[in-house]
Amino acid sequence: MSEAASAATGNAAGAASRTLATDAWRSLRRRPDVIISAVIIVFFVVMAVFPTLFTSVDPRHCIIGDAKIKPQGFGNEFPLGTDSFGCDTLAQLAHGSRPSLLLALVVVGTALVIGVTLGLLAGYYLGWVDFFVSRAVEVFLVIPYLLAAMLLLSLFKNVDLGSGAFATIMLPAIVLTLFGWMGYARYVRASVLEAKNLDYVTAARALGASDLRIMFRHVLPNAIGPVTALVPTAIAGVIGAEAVLAFLGIGVRPPAISWGIMIENGSSWVLGGYPHMLLVPLTCLLATVLSLVVLGDALRDALDPRLTA
């Protein structure tokens, strides 16, 4: 009998979650801005995963005699022109999308796991666990995000971790993750405090369910909604932060290629008659960031029952 009651409470929670997800999907697919943003994001994700679909040119094959060629249009040898070193801009743009997006996914994914775990433990157990997590959140929140990243990356700028895809983003990923988990922890803690006193959670506890089962089967599915809406905006923030750090020479560093490095290299030639060196990567960066912000705002509205009612 107890097993049947437990299954019923679990099914009820699952049904509510599926209903909310279904309602959110119906709301999102009716919004033209969400559809446009999703298309832009998918386009750049495909570019990052399969850059050879867009160009067969090696981004590191640079001929100084071809330097500073202006955009020739698609169908020509240099559709988006070349940079000051004679590197094909389209090839660098396609291959440079991977470090930028990979860094954002690694940072947000790792910070999400850390923040959700700490917020879940703090909200469920309270007491000394909540005390230490809350104090840690407060300490990290008072430290300026970009200032701390700039300081730490400047201290370790001469550390060489290799030339692989993950090695080139490892240092900025560690630093940005270190200062990027607090928002998830706060949102999850607040949601857990509300969810853990609901009737079906109380029933599961009375039936003898373990703390681990209650947290991950009953509490977390209802607390994860607000955090889900933060993910697109957080990815946009990391992409923007990478561009700033690369512009300062302390983020993803050559010989790796990223949009931030392209912006840093092209900024010197805007007034020299070659604005495409800056405008091409900057346009892609802004389009990606704005699309993620729009998607994040729409997802937040769709997952909030008070706004969809």
Stretch among 10-19, 135-144, 253-262 having the lowest mean pLDDT: 10-19
User: Is the per-residue pLDDT at 44 higher than 70?
Assistant: yes
pLDDT digits (tens, 9 = 90+) for 169-182: 888 888 899 988 89
User: Is the per-residue pLDDT at 59 higher than 90?
Assistant: no
Which residue(s) pair with 124 in the sheet? none
- What's the domain range around 123? 2-308
Place of tokens 């805007």: 270
E strand or H helix at 200, and its extent? helix 199-206
Total domains in the chain come to 1
User: Is the per-residue pLDDT at 100 higher than 50?
Assistant: yes
pLDDT score recorded for residue 57: 87
Read off the pLDDT of each residue in 38-58 and give the average, rounded to a whole number. 91
Q: Which phi and psi (to 5°) does residue 198 adopt?
A: -70, 160
Q: Which residue has the higher pLDDT, 199 or 88?
A: 88
Rounded distance, CA 139 to CA 298, Å? 31
Q: Read off the tokens for 7.
A: 């299954």
Q: Which residue has the higher pLDDT, 108 or 15?
A: 108
- 55: alpha, beta or left, given left = phi > 0 and alpha = psi -120 to 50? beta
- Of all residues in the chain, the percent with pLDDT exceeding 90 is 17
- Confidence band for 19, pLDDT divided at 50, 70 and 90: low
What is the pTM assigned to this prediction? 0.81
User: Is the per-residue pLDDT at 130 higher than 70?
Assistant: yes
Read off the pLDDT of each residue in 92-103 and give the average, rounded to a whole number. 89
Rounded distance, CA 186 to CA 119, Å? 6
- Confidence band for 15, pLDDT divided at 50, 70 and 90: very low
Mean pLDDT of the chain: 82
User: Is the per-residue pLDDT at 2 higher than 60?
Assistant: no
Read off the pLDDT of each residue in 296-300 and give the average, rounded to a whole number. 84
Q: Which CATH number belongs to the domain containing residue 263 in this structure? A: 1.10.3720.10
User: Is the per-residue pLDDT at 12 higher than 60?
Assistant: no
User: Is the per-residue pLDDT at 54 higher than 70?
Assistant: yes
Rounded distance, CA 54 to CA 304, Å? 39
Task: Judge contact between 81 and 57, C-beta under 8 A.
Answer: no
Residues 6+ apart with CB under 8 A from 22: none
pLDDT score recorded for residue 257: 84
User: Is the per-residue pLDDT at 194 higher than 70?
Assistant: yes
Read off the pLDDT of each residue in 192-203 and give the average, rounded to a whole number. 82
pLDDT score recorded for residue 266: 86
